[in-house]
Amino acid sequence: MNPQQLTTVQAVDNAFIFILGVSIFMLLLITGLMVYFVIRYSRKRYPVPLSQKDQNLWLEIVWTVIPTLLVMAMFWFGWEGFLTLQRIPDGAIQVNATARMWSWKFTYDSGKSSGKLYVPVGTPVKVKLESLDVLHAFYAPAFRVKRDVVPGMTTWVWFEAEESGSYNLFCAEYCGVGHADMITTIEAVPQAEFDQWVIFSQPPVVDGEILLDRYGCLSCHSLDGSASVGPTLQQIAGRITKVKRGAESLELRVDRDYLRRAILDPEAEIVEGFAPIMPPFAKGSLGQDLDRMLDFLMTGESIAPLDGEQIAKEQGCLGCHSIDGSALVGPSFKAIFGRITEIEGRGGITVDAAYLRRSITHPEAEIVDDYPSIMPVYDQLTEAELNALVDYLKGIK
């Protein structure tokens, strides 16, 4: 048998079922014979021993050889299983898993990332495991894999889902107060669906970027976050931006419609801090190119679904902060926006968007009275994700 052909489930189950089977057989055999002999050869029935023999060579050989073979077979099943778990089959796809207190993040070669582990059915998946902080463990019982995720060290597991479905994925190493909430799922989906899921997020870079350059957009708007004549286009999708519409000043979220307006009628809404100097593009003059540029600009949004609640769940915020007013490890999110909160050594401050952002990206700088300073730093969120999260918090009444 070639261990390469086994799945991790078969590898572990073979050893487990064999050992369990032998154990049950032996239990029944030994218990049965014992009871039988106790009754059959009781002293009442045979007050005097029937035989004076104290040796039987063949019996000795049989009960030495059979158990030896059984134990060696157990070892063989275990060893083959162990090798199967170690050898990654050819054609496995790789997913990078990052564990942190107290969430999982899975990143794919396409650049897409997710809090759930999406895998295609019927394809082996190698999961590279890294920890950003403390010891965690990747545990997927349905696939019989469990491995420590060690800070400063790279470990990995592989498995293959044979049927589509949603499977539990746990952290199996106590890693602090949020350990029990470090749960997510492995979503096994048909290959076609998986391909679409992964590709959907692949930025149509060439197209849109070339067009932006061709129309001269990039001479005033950077793609790398640096300020220029106009606002940067880096991660513009979903950004909360302050604009002046006539005499009115308002905050809005950058979506497709806003970008369309900003290109076709730039004077109507001027982003705060910038001069109203962008030349308009006449309606129709861009043709289909407009949509292609909008696709490009909105890409960031499709990479990270900008649902603040989703982000809060995926990042594990809700493991420590309730939304119903109850105090957990951290202060509740219920009606947090506008609340007066006591900061250690600083006194009361009003919770606004700027404070919420600071408390996510630099949680240790301002500690709320009566709470321990244990929140991990969340500096890997994109600008758009941060905005969505703050928006979500604002909305919790």
Binding site residues, ligand CUA, CB under 6 A:
99, 102, 136, 171, 173-175, 179, 182
| Spatial CA neighbour of 93 closest among 123, 116, 63 | 123
What's the closest the beta carbon of residue 109 comes to ligand CUA, in angstroms? 25
Q: Which is nearer to ligand CUA, 148 or 209 (CB)?
A: 148
Q: Kind and range of the H or E element at 120?
A: strand 117-120
Neighbours of 355 (CB within 10 A): 18
Q: Which is nearer to ligand CUA, 144 or 179 (CB)?
A: 179
What is the DSSP secondary structure assignment for residue 138, as one 8-state letter?
Answer: E
Q: Which is nearer to ligand CUA, 140 or 263 (CB)?
A: 140
Neighbours of 235 (CB within 10 A): 22
For residue 368, give the amino acid letter.
V
8 A C-beta contact, residue 374 and residue 329: yes
What's the closest the beta carbon of residue 131 comes to ligand CUA, in angstroms? 8
Provide the 3-class DSSP secondary structure of residue 199: helix
**Tokens at residue 306, please?**
């900008």
What's the closest the beta carbon of residue 104 comes to ligand CUA, in angstroms? 8
Q: Which is nearer to ligand CUA, 136 or 239 (CB)?
A: 136
What's the closest the beta carbon of residue 393 comes to ligand CUA, in angstroms? 24
What's the closest the beta carbon of residue 377 comes to ligand CUA, in angstroms? 16
8 A C-beta contact, residue 128 and residue 156: yes
> CA 164, CA 120: separation in Å to the nearest integer?
8
Q: What are the DSSP calls for 291-306, one per residue?
A: HHHHHHHTHHHHHS--
For residue 188, give the amino acid letter.
A
What's the closest the beta carbon of residue 149 comes to ligand CUA, in angstroms? 8
Q: Kind and range of the H or E element at 383?
A: helix 383-394
> CA 342, CA 320: separation in Å to the nearest integer?
18
What's the closest the beta carbon of residue 172 comes to ligand CUA, in angstroms? 7
Q: Which is nearer to ligand CUA, 201 or 315 (CB)?
A: 315
| Spatial CA neighbour of 360 closest among 376, 384, 374, 349 | 376
Q: Which is nearer to ligand CUA, 46 or 174 (CB)?
A: 174
Q: Which is nearer to ligand CUA, 15 or 171 (CB)?
A: 171
